Amino acid sequence: MKEEQIRAEESPKGRNKRKKRGKTSHTQITAGRVVLHIVLLLLVILTLGLRWADDNFGMVSFDEIVFHINMPLEGTSSNLLQDFMKEAVLGGFLFWLFLMALVHFPSEKAIEIRTKLDDGREKRFWIFPVRLPLLFLGIVSAVWFGWILFTADTKFKVIDYVKSQLQTSTFIEEEYIFPEKVSIEFPEKKRNLICLYLESAESSSQDLANGGLFTTNYIPEMTQIAAENVSFSQNDLYAGASMAPGTTWTVGGLVAETAGIPLILPNNYNNVMGSYEYFLPGAFSLGEILEKEGYHNYFFAGSSFTFGGRTEYFTQHGHYDIRDYPWAKRNGRIPADYNVWWGMEDAKVFEIAKEDILEIAASGEPFNVSLLTADTHTPSGYVCDLCRDDYDSQYANVWACTSRQVYDFVEWCKEQDFYESTTIFICGDHVSMEPYFYGGNTKDDYLGECKRKVYNAFVNPVVSPAREKNRVFTTMDMFPTILGSMGVTIENDRLGLGTNLFSEEETLSEKYGNEYLFAELQKKSNFYNEVLLYPES
């Protein structure tokens, strides 16, 4: 519609002020306003992103954030990504539009723009004056950004991380035992190994009588496994392993339990792991030790193993045959269009693993089969067809279902011919990040002397522990302990930063205390960076 004329009139108060100030240029959208609007949009998305992270993951370590910033997100649960885009990005954009509407809402100080159309009708709209909004939005943005920094530090201990990176420690260099440089002797009859790495499995899911936090035991079958076999504990009950810095998420936990070291990237890392070219090339892990002894390594998972660089870590350290969600689709083990949760539920992983283990065992060669579950991942876990509705909490029902599936798998193994010469290791990768279920999240829930510990059990080991209860240990100690459970003799019973718990050797946690140990591990280590993380070729 053709416009005949456009005229701008100021409100009476605005006109009086203009007379006093003298000549003023017409109000227009400036570069400063645009920048502030973009800043406000980012602040809104950051705020909703923090809320989303807290609702879905509770307290995560800043080590984990730094690690995943350096790694591609390929293989992440599509549900999580969709929820983040919907709640943080889309929600943030819509809220930003609402804020912009408020900022530009007409007031007595607004400039009125009148547009007269060719049919005689008149349109009006207002532009808020530039100077006051720029000052106002600048102050709001600064205060808002300060609040975000405060909240991020409260949840993720950002300041502690930065402080630790400004300090250098030689602790790892002094305590690290090179696995490839010490004597490791296998028994003449080598035992098979089955490792169950259970997502977020912790001893606190039990009842109080067994060392948990609840009046109800949500994992009674797993408690039974621990009671009937070997389960190392930090008290007289079934309190498992503590988590050191750099071991509080899945990839970090797996590295700790198979290589005896944390997974910590320096803040100036050059992203070589993000390209997957190398993954801890200076480390020497469980898979490499077993491969050297003639074992064949396999890893089953219901998710895409590419997430977090797991495929690269396990193929570069032991040449594992990875049988994950994409592999299952490619090989017709599940329909090509099948997708739930992180790919496929644990029930299908156990089913596939059972079929393949029988075939693997038939070869007569020693094997190492590992499984990684996912149903108990935050948020709230995945309800599969085997789950019952016994409790009000979905997460409790999922854990009860997982406990039954783990027990059934162990019982199935006991019925097979290979069981007599097989040791089964069951362990959580870390404690759960599920918010609220365990009574709130504080940093002490994850690190240090706390009630929440990582579950562990050794089924059918060939040796008895010198001391099973009242040990102080971390998930890094699982590395030599797994070998110890198979009857492997290790020089001085130490590998990496871990100690064989079947021995009487003192762990680093017992020798130094977790507070000192964790503080040293958080500091910058030139040895770790230059020898383990990125050795010069």
Domain that holds residue 220: 171-533
What is the structure's pLDDT at 139?
75
What is the structure's pLDDT at 309?
85
Given a cut of 70, whether residue 414 has pLDDT beyond it is yes
Q: Based on the fold, state whether residues 295 and 358 are members of the same structural domain.
A: yes
CATH number assigned to the domain comprising residue 501: 3.40.720.10
What is the structure's pLDDT at 65?
59
Given a cut of 60, whether residue 346 has pLDDT beyond it is yes
Assign 67 a pLDDT band (cuts: 50, 70, 90). low
Closest CA to 423 of 374, 471, 467, 457: 457
Helix (H, G, I), strand (E, B) or coil at 126: strand
What is the structure's pLDDT at 20?
45
What is the structure's pLDDT at 423?
98
What is the structure's pLDDT at 121?
73
**Is the pLDDT higher at 483 or at 165?**
483
Q: Is 162 within a domain? A: no
Q: Is 528 within a domain? A: yes
Residue type, 471: R
Segment (H or E) for 129 = none
Q: Based on the fold, state whether residues 231 and 276 are members of the same structural domain.
A: yes
Last residue of a domain, one of 156, 189, 214: 156
Q: Based on the fold, state whether residues 145 and 182 are members of the same structural domain.
A: no
Helix (H, G, I), strand (E, B) or coil at 371: strand
Q: Based on the fold, state whether residues 282 and 410 are members of the same structural domain.
A: yes
Average predicted confidence (pLDDT) for the chain: 83
**Cα dist. 277→104, 361, 406 in Å?**
51, 32, 35
**Is the pLDDT higher at 152 or at 460?**
460
Given a cut of 60, whether residue 4 has pLDDT beyond it is no
Q: Is 18 within a domain? A: yes
Given a cut of 80, whether residue 63 has pLDDT beyond it is no
pLDDT (tens digit, 9 = 90+) per residue, 418-438?
Answer: 999 999 999 999 999 887 788
Q: Based on the fold, state whether residues 115 and 185 are members of the same structural domain.
A: no
Assign 446 a pLDDT band (cuts: 50, 70, 90). very low
Residue type, 425: F
Looking at 115-124, 176-185, 312-321, which range is the least confident one? 115-124
Q: Based on the fold, state whether residues 215 and 86 are members of the same structural domain.
A: no
> Could you tell me the sign of the dihedral formed by the alpha carbons of 20, 23, 28, 32, in that order?
negative
Looking at 84-88, 311-315, 364-368, which range is the least confident one? 84-88
Count of CA atoms in the C-beta half-sphere (13 A) of 109: 9
Contact 129, 113 (CB under 8 A): no
Last residue of a domain, one of 123, 156, 189: 156
Domains in the chain, number? 2
pLDDT (tens digit, 9 = 90+) per residue, 148-163?
Answer: 777 766 666 777 777 7
- The residue written with tokens 């100080």 in the block is 109
Assign 274 a pLDDT band (cuts: 50, 70, 90). very low
What residues pair up with 193 in beta bridges, in sequence order? 368, 423
Q: Based on the fold, state whether residues 294 and 152 are members of the same structural domain.
A: no
Burial of 307 per CB tally in 10 Å (0-12, 13-18, 19+) = buried
Q: Is 199 within a domain? A: yes
pLDDT (tens digit, 9 = 90+) per residue, 29-40?
Answer: 466 667 767 777
pTM higher than the cut 0.85: no
Q: Based on the fold, state whether residues 74 and 101 are members of the same structural domain.
A: yes
Last residue of a domain, one of 114, 133, 156: 156
Assign 5 a pLDDT band (cuts: 50, 70, 90). very low
Q: Based on the fold, state whether residues 141 and 175 are members of the same structural domain.
A: no
Contact 377, 356 (CB under 8 A): no
Q: Is 161 within a domain? A: no
Q: Is 165 within a domain? A: no
Contact 491, 513 (CB under 8 A): no
What is the structure's pLDDT at 365?
95
What span, in angstroms and rounded, lies between the C-alpha atoms of 196 and 466?
A: 24
Per-residue DSSP letter, 66:
H
Q: Is 411 within a domain? A: yes
Given a cut of 90, whether residue 85 has pLDDT beyond it is no
What span, in angstroms and rounded, lies between the C-alpha atoms of 425 and 468?
A: 15
Contact 134, 32 (CB under 8 A): yes
What is the structure's pLDDT at 97?
73
Q: What are the residues whose beta carbons fall under 8 Å from the beta carbon of 22, sequence distance 6 or more?
A: none
Q: Is 258 within a domain? A: yes
What span, in angstroms and rounded, lies between the C-alpha atoms of 155 and 14?
A: 47
Q: What are the residues whose beta carbons fall under 8 Å from the beta carbon of 213, sequence distance 6 or more?
A: 204, 205, 206, 438, 439, 451, 452
What span, in angstroms and rounded, lies between the C-alpha atoms of 50 and 38?
A: 18
Q: Based on the fold, state whether residues 204 and 123 are members of the same structural domain.
A: no
Looking at 51-60, 65-74, 244-253, 514-523, which range is the least confident one? 65-74
Q: Based on the fold, state whether residues 92 and 233 are members of the same structural domain.
A: no
Question: What angle separates helix 220-228 from helix 394-414, to the nearest 10 degrees?
Answer: 40
**Cα dist. 523→231, 243, 267, 515, 526 in Å?**
31, 16, 12, 13, 10
Q: Based on the fold, state whether residues 425 and 469 are members of the same structural domain.
A: yes
